[in-house]
Amino acid sequence: MRVEPITNPKHIKAIKKLLNDKPRDRLLFIMGTNSGLRAQDILSLKVSDVKGLNVGDRITIKEKKTKKYNVIIINEEVSEALSYFFETINPKDSDYLFKSRKGANYPLTTFRVTRLVQSWVDEINLNINAGAHTLRKTFCYIQRTQFGVPWEVISKRCNHSSPSITRRYLGVKEEEVEQILLNNI
C-alpha cells in the first residue's frame, strides 16, 4: 500500500507541536518536509554536516537510490529546528544527526522512520497510510498546492526519472480536476 502525503497545513503544524519535546524527531520531520529528499538520504547526515550552518547554506549529498547529487538548502524553519536540536542535545561531530537510541553510533533506519511517522499521524487522528516517504510526498504536495511550484520543477528537485512518478507524488484529487471544469474561458 502506498503512503500518502500530509495535505493539510494544520496537520503539519499539529505534528510539529506534538514533537516540541523531541528535538531529534522534530528536526527529522521538519527536514523531511522541507527538503523533499528521501528519508534514507537525510538519515545519512552526520552532525558535522550541519553544525554551524545558517539560512541559505547548502549541503550536497549523493542520493543512495539514484547515485545523483542533490542539495539541501537550509531554510528558516530547518535552521530553527537545528538550533533547538543543538541547544537540547549535545552530540559529537562524528554522530549521525538522527542517531538511533540503540547502542553505538548508528542512524535511525528507514523502517523506524516509517513507524515514527505513522505514530505521529495517528496521534493527531489523521487517518492516512503514512511512512518515511510521507515526508517527501508532503514536501511535493505542499510545494504544488501552497506555493504553485510547477510539476516539472518538483520532478527535477526529486530527481525523478519520469513525469509519471512525479504525478503520483503530487496528490492531485478528483475535486481539483472537477474544479477546472468550472473555469470560464
Active-site annotation holds for 169: yes
pLDDT at residue 143, rounded to an integer: 94
Domain membership of residue 142 (yes or no) is: yes
Domain membership of residue 130 (yes or no) is: yes
DSSP one-letter code for 108? P
Domain membership of residue 2 (yes or no) is: no
State the residue for C-alpha cell 545558517.
54
Report how many domains make up the chain: 1
Identity (one letter) of the amino acid at 185?
A: I
> CATH number for the domain including 169?
1.10.443.10
pLDDT at residue 49, rounded to an integer: 96
d(CA 124, CA 138): 16
**Marked catalytic residue, from 46, 136, 144, 157:** 136
Distances (CA, A) of 42 to 30, 109, 156: 11, 11, 18
Assessment of whether the complete model's pTM goes beyond 0.75: yes
d(CA 181, CA 109): 44
Active-site annotation holds for 65: yes
Active-site annotation holds for 38: yes
Active-site annotation holds for 133: yes
Domain membership of residue 4 (yes or no) is: no
3-class state of residue 6 by DSSP: coil
Domain membership of residue 1 (yes or no) is: no
Can you read off the three cell numbers belonging to residue 86?
A: 543543538
pLDDT at residue 184, rounded to an integer: 84
Domain membership of residue 86 (yes or no) is: yes
Q: Which segments in the chain show pLDDT lower than 70?
A: 103, 171
Domain membership of residue 42 (yes or no) is: yes
- Tens digits of residue pLDDT in 3-21: 999 999 999 999 999 999 9
pLDDT at residue 110, rounded to an integer: 96
Q: Residues 42, 28: contact at Cβ < 8 Å?
A: yes
Domain interval for residue 56: 9-180
**Marked catalytic residue, from 26, 46, 133, 137:** 133
Task: Give, to the nearest 10 degrees, the angle between helix 163-170 and helix 132-147.
Answer: 90
Domain membership of residue 40 (yes or no) is: yes
3-class state of residue 164 by DSSP: helix
**Marked catalytic residue, from 2, 10, 65, 102:** 65
